[in-house]
Structure 1
Amino acid sequence: MKKFYLAATMLLMAATALQAQDDSMRKLREETAGKIKNNEKDTTGRLWKKGGTFGLMFNQGSLTNWAAGGDKLSLSLQGTLNAFANYKKGRHSWDNNLDLAYGYVNTTSLGTRKSDDRIDLTSKYGYEIGKNWYLSGLFNLRTQFTDGYLYPADTTPERISRFFAPAYIVLSPGIDYMPNKEFSLFMSPITARWVVVMDDSLSARGAYGVDTGKHVRSEFGAYVTATWNKEIMKNVTYKSKLELFSNYKKNPQNIDVFWTNMLSLKVNKWISANVSLDMIYDDDVREFENPKTGVKGARLQVKQVLSIGLTAKF
């Protein structure tokens, strides 16, 4: 009888172990199947890649009984937004990028002035014709949000720009070389560009190269743009965009240059520091007077901004 109980006990234990093993295997199979299904769901329909970065930078300074002198109070606020939506399927690609920036600075001696203002929209379609080479079409719009002024020392501020005055519109078919996701070089020998000045007072004096009294100036020439976006070291990202345009109709040797640079240093998830440097040379913008000769002409325009504040990715 004892042998019978012992055998029955061992048989029951073996059956329990087999059942537990079977349950474990079934659970493992279900989890594996679920992971495979989730992975398929995550990857098969992902033709669009979307995202962006929003930054809000604020600086404040004050002086009280400061022997060295300076403004009693200074405040500055700047907001930036960079958003992208990129499509990729087979040989087809469609990249869209929106870059916005706006900033103000206020001091007790100078009052309120605009420190940054930018709208830059780029849309580029490409069809792969070889390794890293794309037959592409590009659209670019560049303008600003609000009025811009010059502040002469002895006169009242002079309004020299506003929304769509100027605006630069580029429509260009060409070849795009993209060896990786970080770099792109777009080249076109046949590009249409329009300079738009939708302000009567500015167009009346022929600002930004438009004919006097006209609102649009059409140009035809060669266009090259290079973009590079790379994390050069941990938490340090460098982004650069260079545009070159030669107008076949007038002084093609005088190449227009638009170059933006941004160096971002990430402190933590929310805090970052940004250094931006923009350079523009447009031979048709002859608003700068030589103090020695009194003759107006074109010059290299440089804008540099250092900011620290909140940054959020989405």
Structure 2
Amino acid sequence: MKLQSLFALLIIGLSCSTVSAQVNLKDLRVKPDSVISENKQENISLKNIRPIVPKLELQVDYWKHWTRFGITANQAYFNEDWQGGGVNSLAVGFNFYHKSDYTRDNFNFVSELDLKYGKVRNRDQMAKKNNDRIFWDNKISYKLSKNWSLYTSLTFESQFDVGYTYAFIDGRDTITGTVSAFMAPGYFTESLGFEYKPSNEFSLRLGTGTARQTLILDDRIKPLTVEEYKQKYPDREPIDKDQERYGIEAGKMFKNDLAFQITANLDKNIAKNLNLKSRYNLFANYNKLSDPAHRLDVTLTAKVTSLVNVTLNGIVVYDSEVVSKVQASESLALGITYSLPR
């Protein structure tokens, strides 16, 4: 009995000591809003800082430009002992091409300038031009759908140098007449219609409203009446009817035509280093739709190196106002061409 009482007292004593320890631990706990440090809390001030952001003046350039210019040459030489036949010759040509394109939303402007000039000199003959062209085409279009646009264009065509006719007289190469010169003829063509352009390689214009002005501003080419010819060339055999050149009547220097026009352009890389560029133009005067004028220009360029090209040019023209036959020319040349951008 005494042992049990002693054991009970021991348990009660341990319980009391435990409770006392817990009370002391609770006193040591810090309340959430208490300040442990004896120093007073300092006030913190925050300032708004505006970071320096570099000003990026980014602008969209809607223009694209391409330029190509170069020189071509052909040469043949035979010494005095050569028995296979042949004539010494040298041909040199210069060309310049530039295209600018402005495209923004559905609006597009394209300007193309194509300049070519070349001369050939054969032994015992005069130097004669074998290429001569000024071509400047400007077109504004507004896209109506994915492939169709409404367009208007202005085109100028002429040549740089005087063109002559030649004949051998008394064994000598001699000029017998003048057939062309700068602005003789010169053409201005204004066109309004629809353009079909399924890709950047091909386009087709249908100029339902087209006007073309033909000018002859050189008196050497100007068509003459019978009386004017007699006064100008009193030593020559007189003509029996008034002259007409490039569709312009005698005594005049200007003519205006209203026509329907078709223009097709192709610029395609048919192989890695082989480009085909062609332009076909049909001009049908509304006064004689059954006899339209045609012109086809084809250029095949093979790129040998970054600067050296081999170029094959072909031109086919039919215009009854100039001559009632098909005109054709072809040239093959090795040249140095520089293109921008590289």
| Equivalent-residue separation in structure 2 for 1:255 and 1:152 (angstroms) | 32
2:333 aligned with 1:307: yes
2:190 aligned with 1:179: no
Amino acid corresponding to residue 263 of structure 2 in structure 1? T
| Equivalent-residue separation in structure 1 for 2:74 and 2:286 (angstroms) | 45
2:85 aligned with 1:69: yes
Q: What is the DSSP-based 3-state SS (H/G/I as helix, E as strand, rest coil) of the residue aligned with 1:96?
A: strand
Preserved CA contact (<8 Å) 1:242 1:258: yes
| Equivalent-residue separation in structure 2 for 1:156 and 1:309 (angstroms) | 30
Residue deviations 1:38-89 (CA, integer Å, cap 9, x gap): xx95xx5220000121121122222111112322x32111011111011000
Residue deviations 1:92-136 (CA, integer Å, cap 9, x gap): 000000011000111222221111001110000001111111110
Residue deviations 1:191-223 (CA, integer Å, cap 9, x gap): 101111112232223211101111111100101
Name the structure 1 match of 2:253: 215
| Equivalent-residue separation in structure 2 for 1:76 and 1:232 (angstroms) | 28
What TM-score do the two structures reach when normalised by structure 1?
A: 0.80
Name the structure 1 match of 2:297: 260
| Equivalent-residue separation in structure 2 for 1:160 and 1:270 (angstroms) | 36
| Equivalent-residue separation in structure 1 for 2:278 and 2:92 (angstroms) | 23
What TM-score do the two structures reach when normalised by structure 2?
A: 0.74
Amino acid corresponding to residue 218 of structure 2 in structure 1? D
Amino acid corresponding to residue 319 of structure 2 in structure 1? D
From 216, 221, 225, the counterpart of 1:197: 216
Q: 1:52-63 counterparts in 2 under 5 A?
A: 52-63=67-78
From 276, 285, 307, the counterpart of 1:238: 276
Which ranges in structure 1 are unaligned for 5 or more consecutive residues? Answer: 1-33, 287-297
Report how many aligned residue pairs link the two structures. Answer: 262
2:156 aligned with 1:137: no
Which ranges in structure 2 are unaligned for 5 or more consecutive residues? Answer: 1-53, 225-242
Q: What is the DSSP-based 3-state SS (H/G/I as helix, E as strand, rest coil) of the residue aligned with 1:63?
A: coil
| Equivalent-residue separation in structure 2 for 1:157 and 1:230 (angstroms) | 42
Q: What is the DSSP-based 3-state SS (H/G/I as helix, E as strand, rest coil) of the residue aligned with 2:144?
A: strand
Preserved CA contact (<8 Å) 1:206 1:214: no
2:327 aligned with 1:285: no
Q: What is the DSSP-based 3-state SS (H/G/I as helix, E as strand, rest coil) of the residue aligned with 1:130?
A: coil
Give how far 1:152 is off.
3.2
Name the structure 2 match of 1:274: 311
Let me know the Cα RMSD of the aligned residues: 1.6
Name the structure 2 match of 1:289: none
2:131 aligned with 1:93: no
Instruction: Specify the structure having the higher radius of gyration (Cα).
Output: 2
Residue deviations 1:120-161 (CA, integer Å, cap 9, x gap): 100000011111111100111111000011223456432100
Q: What is the DSSP-based 3-state SS (H/G/I as helix, E as strand, rest coil) of the residue aligned with 2:178?
A: strand
Amino acid corresponding to residue 157 of structure 1 in structure 2? T
| Equivalent-residue separation in structure 2 for 1:103 and 1:70 (angstroms) | 22
Amino acid corresponding to residue 318 of structure 2 in structure 1? Y
From 247, 253, 267, the counterpart of 2:285: 247
Q: What is the DSSP-based 3-state SS (H/G/I as helix, E as strand, rest coil) of the residue aligned with 2:129?
A: strand
| Equivalent-residue separation in structure 1 for 2:336 and 2:176 (angstroms) | 32
* Bigger shift: residues 56-65 or 228-237: 56-65
